[in-house]
Amino acid sequence: MGTADAERALTVAQLVENDVAAIDVNMGCPKEYSTKAGMGAALLSDPDKIESILSTLVKGICKPVTCKIRILPSKEETISLAKTIEKTGVAAIAVHGRKKEERPQHPVHCDVIKAISEAVSVPVIANGGSHDFIKEYSDLEAFQQATAASSVMVARAAMWNPSIFRKEGPQPLNNVIQEYIKYAVRYDNHYTNTKYCLCQMLREQLENAQGKKLHAAQSLEEICEIFEMGSFYKETSALLEARKASLETKDQGEDDQLEDVDVITMAVKFDKREYPLQITPKMCLLEWCRKEKHPQPVYETIERPGDRLFRSVVTVAEQKYRSSFWEKSKKLAEQAAAIACLRTLGVPEGKRSEEASPLVNKRKRHDQELLHNGEHREELLAEAACKKPHFIPRASDSSVS
């Protein structure tokens, strides 16, 4: 997590501690969006705040707490900070072997990471070796030995070619790309994230024809076509759609078995494009209930945990109505329930094709009255302006003694 406040950090950690293996505090990010809020690398200049945050977390949760830092201007300062962190009771310290103003093109300071490893008793995780050291699995051990660290953390090198973790050696990049795309399609990964990861893999090849096509891609299907995997995309998508339909049918069957048989159900959806501005089925239903002297409609909406979709039941005159479809929002679900009720009762629902709807006509009259009143007001103002006396200053009025 990124944080600059011990108590807020603890509140968040307690929310998630049962769902995670550990809590790590980022104290090395040099990006402005992090440092301007006092987080990330901004903490490196405030050891007291670092101590407060880590001590609060260590005492307040049951899971291990770790942190990641960058090195300070001098080796001695960095070792002193690492010892302060060790005293808070953290389980490990990750060290990015660059100063906060340094970037990946600058050499990683293995000597400083090694000095920290030798100065503290908690595990030290070495980071920052992607550019200088790590090209394949054997390089991980070389970086670990150079820093005397307990383990190694890898970011960019793993994005460039995830197969660096193969002890037998990395796979050809084309093979890795194809395997990655298969995962992206099977798990419906968003195309923008997929494209970003592929750009990280291609690197120098981004300027060739294939790389330029990748930059222009706007969907997973387009990405697959670029890498000659169009048929895989179509076949996999068809299988996924069939599975989705099967699961929805199963869920619908289970829902139907559990649902109240007294509810009138209709397969309807609300599409706001079919209705005039400011007219909705809920408004039409409310207007009808008032006219018929019924209590106003009562909506009960539930959220399905599995996919977080909504369905609503509306009660009108002691009868319940709903749509058979699950909607993306509570508002859409309520509108669909209102449509089911109106159509069952044979009452106009306010669609554009129902211009004779009482509510539509009422709105029209209201708008016309507003327009008429507005025009009448403008006429009165214009008339008053014409009648307003005009004063021409005399010569004696233009001078002040």
- What is the β-pairing status of strands 23-27 and 92-96? unpaired
CA distance 14 to 1: 12
Q: In what order do the strands lie in the sheet with 124-127?
A: 23-27, 65-70, 92-96, 124-127, 151-153
Say if residues 338 and 285 touch (Cβ distance below 8 Å): yes
Q: Are 341 and 321 in contact (CB under 8 A)?
A: yes
- Residue 259 Cα distances to 11, 76, 254, angstroms: 39, 69, 9
Q: What is the DSSP pairing of strand 263-266 with strand 298-304?
A: unpaired
End-to-end CA distance of the chain: 73
Q: Which residues pair with 24 in a beta bridge?
A: 66
Report whether 56 contacts 79 (CB < 8 A).
Answer: no
- Return d(Cα 25, Cα 64) in angstroms, integer: 11
Asked if 29 is an active-site residue, the reply is: yes
Q: Which of 29, 67, 110, 341 is catalytic?
A: 29
Q: What's at 339, amino acid-wise? A: I
Calculate helix-pair angle for 110-119, 75-87, nearest 10 degrees: 40
How long a stretch of residues is the chain? Answer: 401
Q: Which residues are catalytic?
A: 29
